[in-house]
Chains A and B, each alone.
Chain A
């Protein structure tokens, strides 16, 4: 089993009298990409801030790589890279100067070489000398990630990294995150509410709501737990009279397409075998087999 790198134990946090994190406990393991999911105000950003030690928990304990963010904040921050929603760059400075400045704050060795290397990695080498204020949102996000990676952090926090990016920019960024995790084993916590984007990226998900942990697990674990019945969409020329076929309820029909409800995946080959004995099958798909469906299932079950 991978080594635990981050642990929250019964953490609570309130701003004035408003609770934002409510008895939150979870662990993150080295090399994981963990999706922090939840609506606005769920506590995703607060979780990242607590972990970085820029705000302190009211009760409970947090450790990152064995260090306490409250009492050993700088040790924690040395090991973390953070991309905030606004990227936190100096608009009047060039891309290279921004990286050189932050490289000094993080005491990076050979700062110029590292900055140029990251600019090249993120496709910004040609605009290294341009002021950030001339950059598009996507370029700023890429530079923000380069900034967060300057000191080769063990853990990378990405807060809404794809907000404001076009589809191409989003795809490139998500591919890079995946590659970074694969090649350098960087543990990544990714806070987002854009579920479709991270479904195939994250190894595990934490579902938060009003600062509480609703559920945690991998996609397949959650699917097994929450998708108790399956809706199967079959493109076929089968003609069905009535509301059942081969004992399986028919829940919808369109010209050339039938929708069945099955108690589990194991029933799929049985149904298909029955159909194929009577007609041709051109395509099969499980309806609602995505993170968004799971997200609403979890929320429905837990609220």
Chain B
């Protein structure tokens, strides 16, 4: 790996993202709705509206009563009011999928822009004509897509944590977020999932003509696949952090496999003929 070239490519890609408002604005607005607006509405509604008179709570209460025996069930049963149960459960579990979607969405957009964008702008050939080994090129591009998506997730998680704890404090008298599972989710599962999305985008970019096509194909192929994974992870959140560790490890192994495929699949000639029209 050539550190100087890797740094230059990363700096260029990240600058390109930050200077393209059409790219980063949607990536910021949607996560902020998930991490700031929705939790604020939910917790304040729970605090100031009479939940016992609210409708449609049966489904959630039914779910809570069917929780498997363990720490979560004990925790839920320790609360005095339905508001506390509802806020705790929603804040720590129901919002979790959003925090998997945020890095996934941003990694897909940045990944599509990074690889297919070079092809579209006819700049990939300039990179391939340079004395730059392919692991350095791929490493830089993957890191340049990975880092902003992880930073965005951390930023949104911090916002979410502050909102939840500030608004829910009067209800509990203590901080309720994050529970241990979240740390595993954000620290282990989310990075692995983001990396997977970026690596899949590398393959997609080789097949398409430009960013829009890569992004659309990513939406059709990657997102449903990963939505399935997210569903499974959310279920695991309810059980035990051990399963989350295992799931994250499986994703890391999948990423390693994909990375090896990327390395093997692209020699310079294959990359050149697929990327340069």
Chain A residues close to B by CB (< 8 Å): 15, 49, 52-56, 73-75, 77-78, 80, 82, 84, 86, 88-93, 101-102, 104-107, 147
Would B123 and A104 count as touching, CB distance under 8 A? no
- 9-residue interface stretch from B2-10, B153-161, B168-176: B2-10
Would A86 and B122 count as touching, CB distance under 8 A? yes
Chain B residues close to A by CB (< 8 Å): 2, 4-5, 7-9, 12, 15-16, 19-20, 121-123, 125-133, 268-269, 272-273, 276
Would A91 and B131 count as touching, CB distance under 8 A? no
For B133, the chain A residues whose CB sits under 8 A away are: 74
Q: How many A-B residue pairs have CB under 8 A?
A: 73
Who on chain A is nearest to B128 by CB?
A: A54
Main secondary structure of the interface of B (DSSP, over half): helix
Would B12 and A102 count as touching, CB distance under 8 A? no
Give the contacting residue for B131; candidates A77, A86, A147; CB below 8 A: A77
Would A105 and B130 count as touching, CB distance under 8 A? yes
Would B8 and A105 count as touching, CB distance under 8 A? yes
Give the contacting residue for A104; candidates B5, B20, B128; CB below 8 A: B5
Would B123 and A55 count as touching, CB distance under 8 A? no
Give the contacting residue for A105; candidates B16, B125, B132, B273; CB below 8 A: B132
For B131, the chain A residues whose CB sits under 8 A away are: 73-75, 77-78, 105-107
For B2, the chain A residues whose CB sits under 8 A away are: 107
A119 to B125, CA, bound (A): 22
Instruction: Taking A74-B133, A88-B125, A91-B121 as given, write out 16 further A-B residue pairs in contact, using a Cβ cutoff of 8 Å, ordered by the A residue number.
Output: A52-B129, A54-B269, A55-B269, A73-B268, A77-B129, A77-B130, A77-B132, A86-B125, A88-B129, A90-B16, A90-B123, A93-B15, A104-B5, A105-B5, A105-B130, A106-B131
A22 to B129, CA, bound (A): 23
With A55-B269, A90-B12, A93-B12: A106-B126 Cβ-Cβ less than 8 Å = no
With A77-B131, A84-B125: A56-B269 Cβ-Cβ less than 8 Å = yes
Would A55 and B273 count as touching, CB distance under 8 A? yes
